A and B are shown apart, each in its own frame.
Chain A
């Protein structure tokens, strides 16, 4: 019995190979997109991890001095309880390029475990370093550039240190470079012991240089990158599942008579369910495996973009290959199984409840579905409400995502009801019988189409939402850069003395010079950077103010107040006219709030005299120069000649902007690609729906054909119907997409990054998207319509003879 039952059940697929193919493809695509996102995320994270694990001397605050640092300075600082670690630099000549020899003290160096460890096992054993003959540690790449005839201690290769430097014990470097009493600089680790009753501030002859930080707030940008990818992973998966659910329902539907027969022959229901379960899991595993392959190759295709993003954001090696990681194989296969089970749950439930002798017609079930729309609408309403409630209660980033999920799911669930209502209005308005029939027929097909339309709705809304967010972000970012980078040339001197000389020189050349000077301190637990500005029209006409008092720049020039960035205003919950409780005699009245995208930290602006009065030691190394555009290259050249500054110290505005924009575009490139892929899957879902309802359509088309409507005309109406669906869905996707964009810009962004973005609208993009949706609908309907136009009249006639 079992064998025959199994054969009977499985024979369905040989009768309907197309359904089998669509089911497998749908599930593979869903798994594939999910996997590709997982792979990219995992690789990207692994890549930052490698970058983070690398020793980068710029990661620490350091102490320097105008005069040479000595052992006595070291002893003095340590005996004051300031736990500095000494570094002695020496340039190694004689190899193919100069290499920096860095002498460190392993007993106090904060990154010892990275230097002494291998990739797999960090070590803190300083002995091999300290005991004769000592050790040098270098990156494998450095080895080729090194002159090995020099008398260096035995070397250890370690990929976690940057190329071009060699680490060794400071005693060796001191001996080797004959600088026994000299120290190049001190590293000041962030951990310092209990500071009660003692000052751990270094004496004023030492100068503190803060650790390097990326101007763009790197970790937040990458977080946004991952957030985008993950959101897309889920969305694509969800869209793919709509396809699967459609097909699974259909196969169950078509096997109703078979099921009834098998049950009548005495096959227990439990066994039947077991067969179907085994069937769906087998299919899930097959398509899961295929999905892994699809995912892997999609990831490989997207890799160059991700890799470019990463190497722009971090100074790391590009990703050129993918590891096959067990995590994402497991995650892909389990997602395929869970997805297949979730999308067939309803079908199983129906199977379990199916009366043994009832074989209801499609029409009756269709009408039942229409009633079901009301229920779906209610469920959708609850989803939206739930999302709003969760957002109200927990708020924050998670709340923002709950709101998004609730609204997206809720609207998708309400879609059939809304479309049904619109179709009903249409049929009421229609005059000619044939149009009345088209409206009614379209409504009648809705149950079979609703899942595909929900998928299309989600895909389009996501496209509009994410597209609007990215484009708004880009536009704002561009505008902001135009305002913030208003000087034509930016020059950075190596130290204050050179800065002063540079400033004098620039004055002699009669070049308008805007000094960029700042000080930094902890304020209310956060790092606050305060800039001083001179009174100049550059700021008056360009600075990106969000809100400001009247005559703000005059008041600022008179040192009557302070300008703060949006981040600070948000964190301290202060607004225009409030007092910022800064220490000492810093100006406190908030005169204006300006936008400061991409910066994670709090920032403020005071007049230059205020800054210099309160922080007389503020370094004077950076200058913005106002020039006529055509003078830029010649001035750049002159400055480099006069001061022998490295290239990166003299940057013109145009290349700075181009570089920033490039980083920005790279970050969101993958988002765009995934967006298109999701839309493609939604189109595919529509195609499958059209094809699967094909057989059910014949009994409905045959009478219309019999009444004298030609097959070609029927086919044309079919295409029209498909376009109608797409158009209606687009109409509903537009507001949903805008809501999505609004939530992303105003809630998610503000929570995640601390700044809100103004929302810009891009109607042309929507038109393009609508066009794409119509095109997809056209393509999806083309094949069934073509078949319809070619159908044998006898087939249509047979309908009347059939029991259906």
Chain B
């Protein structure tokens, strides 16, 4: 998930030949930006708000939903913050760039939308008390402890309005929220609320549908999260019918090799237990042609130590986000030793 910072590199659209060093751009050019430290003490509700001294940050919610006829849907709502330089300034002088992405996936359709804004103008931003993250007319707003949030976004041919509730505690990844992302030590601050119950409605070209289901919110911020040779990632957030959760990702290197794979097991007492590095394997089983690219849409996931052997299958192979940089993100179904639903995000699959 941390590798989503790549998205922000893409947002800034560095030329392709600079991209190899572009990782270094995030990794090494953090001059002036704050860097995550192992002994950080989170402080809420402030930490639900923005950290402009860090280079990148996001508020990221995915939801697996069903309508009254049992049809599956997926919704993604993301607000990214990317700083051109550390700190905040008023009005147009603000170095903060905000980007909203919204996705809505049905069994046979996928919709996506994007909004861009500069900080300092009020067009986009995040406040922690009361909690509100917004860009234009899209927002994620609710109680300061995030136990209740409303969520809305709108594209040219779709919109959604959802309410999310959870009485479960937040869970912290890695070492109390300090999440290492590469062997070289790149890291981020990372916590989640993986247990939202969601109700609401989706507006589709064919009409409005009432839906309910579950949601997973990720909060993460950092300044230098990736190693130089990391090219793309495959990120899974899985919710098993047993109530257990699994967050796992694979960072792929430029030559296609797995460079870093990390998995975190079931949440207990607000902690997702990190599993040993490389205890987890993910193998593509099938690929689909999506906008001229070959994208793996069926995966085999293995966690031998946990007796977990599952197949993850895309709900809709065409969950392609047509945003200013494009990637695959959509709901998945889980079969095998465990069953359930989840979300999959894949980037770096170039034409």
A residues adjacent to B (C-beta < 8 A): 71-72, 74-75, 78-81, 83, 103, 105, 107-108, 124-125, 127, 130-131, 169-171, 174-175, 180-181, 191, 193-194, 196-198
Partner pick for A194 among B14, B97, B203, CB 8 A cutoff: B203
> In the assembly, what is the distance between CA of A81 and CA of B100, in Å?
13
> In the assembly, what is the distance between CA of A130 and CA of B82, in Å?
13
Partner pick for A196 among B118, B203, B324, CB 8 A cutoff: B203
Is B24 an interface residue when CB atoms closer than 8 A count as contact? no
Instruction: Please report whether the interface of chain A is mostly helix, strand, loop or mixed according to DSSP.
Output: loop
B137 touches A198 (CB 8 A): yes
Closest to A196 in B: B203
Is B285 an interface residue when CB atoms closer than 8 A count as contact? no
- Please indicate the chain B residues that have their CB under 8 angstroms from the CB of A83 in the complex: 136
> In the assembly, what is the distance between CA of A130 and CA of B116, in Å?
13
- Please indicate the chain A residues that have their CB under 8 angstroms from the CB of B116 in the complex: 107-108
Per-residue CB proximity of B194-205 to A under 8 Å, as 1/0?
000000000100
10 contacts between A and B (CB under 8 A): A71-B91, A79-B123, A79-B134, A83-B136, A107-B118, A127-B14, A174-B91, A193-B154, A193-B156, A198-B154
Per-residue CB proximity of B91-118 to A under 8 Å, as 1/0?
1110001000000000000000100111
B122 touches A71 (CB 8 A): yes
- Please indicate the chain B residues that have their CB under 8 angstroms from the CB of A80 in the complex: 137
B118 touches A105 (CB 8 A): yes
A107 touches B97 (CB 8 A): yes
A72 touches B91 (CB 8 A): no
A72 touches B122 (CB 8 A): yes
> In the assembly, what is the distance between CA of A193 and CA of B158, in Å?
9
Is B12 an interface residue when CB atoms closer than 8 A count as contact? yes
Across the A-B interface, the 10 shortest Cβ-Cβ residue pairs? A75-B122, A81-B137, A171-B92, A107-B116, A125-B13, A78-B123, A78-B136, A193-B154, A174-B92, A180-B91
Given the interface pairs A78-B137, A171-B92, the reply to whether A191 lies near B122 with Cβ below 8 Å is no
B157 touches A194 (CB 8 A): yes
> In the assembly, what is the distance between CA of A83 and CA of B135, in Å?
11
A79-B137, A198-B137 are known; give 16 further A-B pairs, CB within 8 A: A71-B122, A72-B122, A75-B121, A78-B117, A79-B134, A79-B136, A127-B12, A169-B92, A170-B92, A171-B118, A174-B92, A180-B90, A181-B91, A193-B159, A194-B155, A194-B158
- Please indicate the chain A residues that have their CB under 8 angstroms from the CB of B155 in the complex: 193-194
Given the interface pairs A71-B121, A78-B137, A105-B118, the reply to whether A180 lies near B159 with Cβ below 8 Å is no
B3-21 interface with A by 8 A CB criterion: 12-14
> In the assembly, what is the distance between CA of A242 and CA of B80, in Å?
71
> How far is the CB of A125 from the nearest CB of chain B, in Å?
5
Is B279 an interface residue when CB atoms closer than 8 A count as contact? no
- Please indicate the chain A residues that have their CB under 8 angstroms from the CB of B324 in the complex: 124
- Please indicate the chain B residues that have their CB under 8 angstroms from the CB of A130 in the complex: 84, 97
- Please indicate the chain B residues that have their CB under 8 angstroms from the CB of A124 in the complex: 13, 324
- Please indicate the chain B residues that have their CB under 8 angstroms from the CB of A127 in the complex: 12-14
Partner pick for B156 among A74, A131, A194, CB 8 A cutoff: A194
B92 touches A180 (CB 8 A): yes
> How far is the CB of A195 from the nearest CB of chain B, in Å?
9
A107 touches B91 (CB 8 A): no
- Please indicate the chain B residues that have their CB under 8 angstroms from the CB of A79 in the complex: 122-123, 134, 136-137
> How far is the CB of A111 from the nearest CB of chain B, in Å?
15
B121 touches A191 (CB 8 A): no
Which of B121, B122, B154 counts the most chain A CB atoms within 10 A? B121
> How far is the CB of B154 from the nearest CB of chain A, in Å?
5
Which of B113, B122, B158 counts the most chain A CB atoms within 10 A? B122
- Please indicate the chain B residues that have their CB under 8 angstroms from the CB of A191 in the complex: 156
Closest to B155 in A: A193
Partner pick for B159 among A131, A171, A174, A196, CB 8 A cutoff: A196
> In the assembly, what is the distance between CA of A44 and CA of B84, in Å?
45
> In the assembly, what is the distance between CA of A124 and CA of B84, in Å?
17
A175 touches B121 (CB 8 A): no
Per-residue CB proximity of B113-150 to A under 8 Å, as 1/0?
10011100111000000000010110000000000000
> In the assembly, what is the distance between CA of A513 and CA of B194, in Å?
71
- Please indicate the chain A residues that have their CB under 8 angstroms from the CB of B121 in the complex: 71, 74-75
> How far is the CB of A276 from the nearest CB of chain B, in Å?
51
- Please indicate the chain A residues that have their CB under 8 angstroms from the CB of B137 in the complex: 78-81, 198
- Please indicate the chain B residues that have their CB under 8 angstroms from the CB of A71 in the complex: 91, 121-122
Closest to B85 in A: A132
- Please indicate the chain A residues that have their CB under 8 angstroms from the CB of B136 in the complex: 78-79, 81, 83
> In the assembly, what is the distance between CA of A83 and CA of B117, in Å?
11
> In the assembly, what is the distance between CA of A108 and CA of B124, in Å?
13
> In the assembly, what is the distance between CA of A105 and CA of B203, in Å?
30
- Please indicate the chain A residues that have their CB under 8 angstroms from the CB of B93 in the complex: 171, 174-175, 180
> In the assembly, what is the distance between CA of A174 and CA of B93, in Å?
9
- Please indicate the chain B residues that have their CB under 8 angstroms from the CB of A181 in the complex: 91
Which of A80, A171, A174, A191 counts the most chain B CB atoms within 10 A? A171
Closest to A169 in B: B92
Given the interface pairs A74-B123, A107-B97, A107-B118, the reply to whether A194 lies near B91 with Cβ below 8 Å is no
